[in-house]
Amino acid sequence: NIPHFNYVGDSIIDENCNLGAGTMVANLRFDDKSISVEVKNKKIDSQRRKMGCIMGNNTKTGINVTIYPGRIIGSSCYIYPGKVVDKNVPDNTVLR
């Protein structure tokens, strides 16, 4: 559910997610290099210039959340308003 003013570029969003108004998913690095994704504590070069986030099911963001490129947000997470997601978020996390 992405009904508000949001930007969700080049992302994979699973079912039953709700993004609060003003949630922005960055999909491009400032230095224009390819985006790395961290999987099992290893950085993997995606070889993609543009990549948003991967968000698991039943996850919700509050208003004005910013998500960095290549971040993985697990299932059943709650991200409080105004937070900056600069690291991956494991399943069942409340990010205050």
Q: What is the pLDDT of residues 41-59, one digit of tens each?
A: 999 999 999 999 999 999 9
Catalytic site residue 4? yes
Looking at residue 22, which CATH number applies to its domain? Answer: 2.160.10.10
95, part of any domain: no
Q: How many domains does the chain divide into?
A: 1
Which residues touch 14 (CB under 8 Å, ≥6 apart)?
55, 56, 57, 58, 59, 75
Residue range(s) defining the domain that contains residue 70: 1-90
Mean pLDDT, contiguous 10-residue spans, the chain (96 residues) = 81 97 96 96 96 98 98 99 99 98
SS3 56: coil
Note whether residue 47 is domain-resident: yes
Distance of CA 25 to the CA centre of its chain: 6
The pTM for the full model equals 0.93
- Cβ atoms of 67 and 49 closer than 8 Å: no
1, 2, 3, 4: the active-site residue: 4
- Does some domain include residue 30? yes
Q: 57 CB contacts (<8 Å, ≥6 apart)?
A: 14, 15, 16, 17, 75, 76
- Domain presence at residue 96: no
What pLDDT sits at residue 68?
A: 98
